[in-house]
Amino acid sequence: MESAETANHSTHRSRGMYLLGFLTKYYIQSLLLISVVILAAVNPYFRSIGNLQNILLQASFAGIGAAGMTMLIVSGAFDLSVAGLLGLCGVLISMLLPLLGAFLTFFAAVLLGVVLGSLNGVVVTKLRIPAFIATLGLMNIYLALAFIWTGGSRVVPISDPIFNSLGTGALFGLPIPFLAMIAAYLGCYGILNRSVYGRCLRAVGSSEVAARTAGLPVDFIRILAFAIVGGCTALAGVFLGAELSSASAIMATGYELTVIAVVVIGGTSLKGGEGTLFGSFTGALFFAVISSALNILNVAAYWQYVATGAFLISALGVQALRSYIVVE
> Which CB atom, from 2 or from 128, has the smaller least distance to other proteins?
128
Q: How far apart are CA 65 and CA 150, in angstroms?
A: 24
C-beta of 262: minimal distance to other proteins in Å?
A: 13
Instruction: Give the closest residue to 280 by CA, choosing from 256, 258, 264, 304.
Output: 264
H/E segment holding residue 158: none
C-beta of 53: minimal distance to other proteins in Å?
A: 28
User: Which residues pair with residue 170 across a beta bridge?
Assistant: 175
Q: Does 196 bind other proteins (CB under 8 A)?
A: yes
Instruction: Give the closest residue to 192 by CA, choosing from 184, 323, 107.
Output: 184
Q: Does 148 bind other proteins (CB under 8 A)?
A: yes
Query: Given candidates 21, 42, 317, 326, which one binds other proteins under the rule CB under 8 A?
Result: 317
Query: Given candidates 16, 21, 98, 130, which one binds other proteins under the rule CB under 8 A?
Result: 130
From 1-9, 10-18, 22-30, 140-148, span contacting other proteins (CB under 8 A): 140-148
H/E segment holding residue 214: none
Residue burial 202-229, b: 16+ Cβ < 10 Å; e: rest: bbbbbebeebeeeebebbebbbbbbbbb
> Which CB atom, from 99 or from 300, has the smaller least distance to other proteins?
300
From 18-26, 160-168, 288-296, 311-319, span contacting other proteins (CB under 8 A): 311-319
Q: How far apart are CA 132 and CA 77, in angstroms?
A: 8
From 3-11, 18-26, 99-107, 313-321, span contacting other proteins (CB under 8 A): 313-321
Q: How many CB atoms lie within 10 A of CB 172?
A: 5
Footprint on residues 95-114 left by other proteins (CB under 8 A) = none
* Strand pairing category for 170-171 and 174-175: antiparallel
Q: Does 73 bind other proteins (CB under 8 A)?
A: no
Q: Does 91 bind other proteins (CB under 8 A)?
A: no
The DSSP result for 71-91, as a single string, is: HHHHTT-----HHHHHHHHHH
C-beta of 217: minimal distance to other proteins in Å?
A: 6
C-beta of 169: minimal distance to other proteins in Å?
A: 32
Q: Does 9 bind other proteins (CB under 8 A)?
A: no
Q: Does 213 bind other proteins (CB under 8 A)?
A: yes
> Site mask, other proteins, residues 222-261, x = CB under 8 A?
--------------------------------x--x--xx
C-beta of 38: minimal distance to other proteins in Å?
A: 24
- Own/partner long-range contacts of 137-142 (Cβ < 8 Å, ≥24 apart): 138/81, 138/84, 139/80, 139/81, 139/82, 139/83, 139/84, 139/85, 139/256, 140/84, 141/84, 142/81, 142/84, 142/85, 142/87, 142/88, 142/116
Q: Does 300 bind other proteins (CB under 8 A)?
A: yes
Query: Given candidates 147, 178, 185, 255, which one binds other proteins under the rule CB under 8 A?
Result: 147
Instruction: Give the closest residue to 53 by CA, choosing from 223, 214, 168.
Output: 168
> Which CB atom, from 20 or from 214, has the smaller least distance to other proteins?
214
Where along the sequence are the contacts to other proteins (CB under 8 A)?
A: 123, 127-130, 132-134, 136-141, 143-145, 147-148, 152, 190, 194-197, 199-200, 202-203, 205-207, 209-217, 220-221, 254, 257, 260-261, 264, 270, 272-274, 300, 302-310, 312-313, 316-317, 320
